[in-house]
Amino acid sequence: MRIGITGATGLIGRAFSKLATASGHEVVAYSRRNTPTKNTTQTLRMPADAPHKLPETRLDALVHLAGEPLTGLWTASKRERIWKSRVDLTEALMDHVKSWSPTNRPPVVLGGSGIGFYGSRGDSVLDETSPRGSGFLADLCGQWEAAAHRASAWDARIIHLRTSMVLAREGGAYPLMRQAFRCGMGGRLGSGRQWMSWIHVDDEAAMILWALENSSLQGPLNLCSPAPELNSNFTRKLAHSLHRPAFMHAPAFALRLLLRGMADEMLLCSQKAVPGTAGQEGYHFAFPTLEGALADLR
């Protein structure tokens, strides 16, 4: 297949591009840079002032992962950038691709989203049938998915990639956590009773490709391992894998003071998301347990 991808230089984009090309697919990266994107077949440059205007080419699928990073203080301007880079950009991008020749429009669109869709839900088990929660991230993901659904205008098969925390050596949260624990600063966040859903980067990339190649799949897809962990257990297992103590404790009030809304929606929220669709459809996880994932990343 000829697969177009936005966000190809991000953590997930890099892993997916590498796997897809190794699996024999052509990968067309859309980038604002002039230099070729690593692990792709071709790089097409987007206009710097109009990133939604992808250069037209024939595609069998479009994987749309671009977006402002969620990390950082959630000031009003940061929230605006997050929203515009996901919801507004996706709306404009889908409308632009609709204007392409019918023979070039991708019949499959996989759009970024996240388990933030579910909001903070305590001990409730969250699969793809669970309703949307409340909060900034829940609203963001809901509108992000609605924007991607504009691809139904040309009858595309649409998959919403509800990604959990991705564990990888090359980026994301894991290198930061590893450094903190190695410096003796590791510990639970808040009460430690909040559920954390996670996925190894290899399974993240493999699930996206699996969903793309599986013509029976459409709609939301939880990209997470089948074994979510309480924050206290996650902390203990990470400390054990690094042979470091985990006696530090970040109180909830301190996290809220330092990080504002990001603390409640990303660090203290409880999301026990599980891969319901992947389990039903027979996806085989390379790293189903946290112990195995951490051993691989150590």
Q: What is the pLDDT along the chain (298 residues), one digit of tens a residue?
A: 999 999 999 999 999 999 999 999 999 999 887 778 888 889 998 887 788 889 999 999 999 999 998 888 889 999 999 999 999 999 999 999 999 999 999 999 999 999 999 999 999 999 999 999 999 999 999 999 999 999 999 999 999 999 999 999 999 989 988 888 887 778 888 899 999 999 999 999 999 999 999 999 999 999 999 999 999 999 999 999 988 887 778 878 787 877 777 888 888 999 999 999 999 999 999 999 999 999 999 8
Q: What angle do CA 97, 100, 101 make, to 5 degrees?
A: 145
What Rg, from alpha-carbon coordinates, does the chain have?
19
Q: Give residue 86's pLDDT.
A: 96
CATH level 3 topology of 2-119+127-164+199-224+273-283: Rossmann fold (3.40.50)
Q: Measure Cα distances from 117 to 58, 251, 254 in Å.
A: 32, 25, 25
Tokens 């009460």, residue located: 191
Query: Beta partners for 61?
Result: 3
H/E element holding 5? strand 2-6
Count the neighbouring beta carbons within 10 Å of the beta carbon of residue 56: 14
Q: Give residue 37's pLDDT.
A: 85
SS3 for 210? helix
Q: Side chain identity at 223, as an amino acid letter?
A: L
CA 174 centroid distance within chain: 14
Helices (H), 36-126: 76-83, 89-98
SS3 for 46? coil
How far is Cα 188 from Cα 71, in angstroms, rounded to an integer? 19
Q: Give residue 45's pLDDT.
A: 87
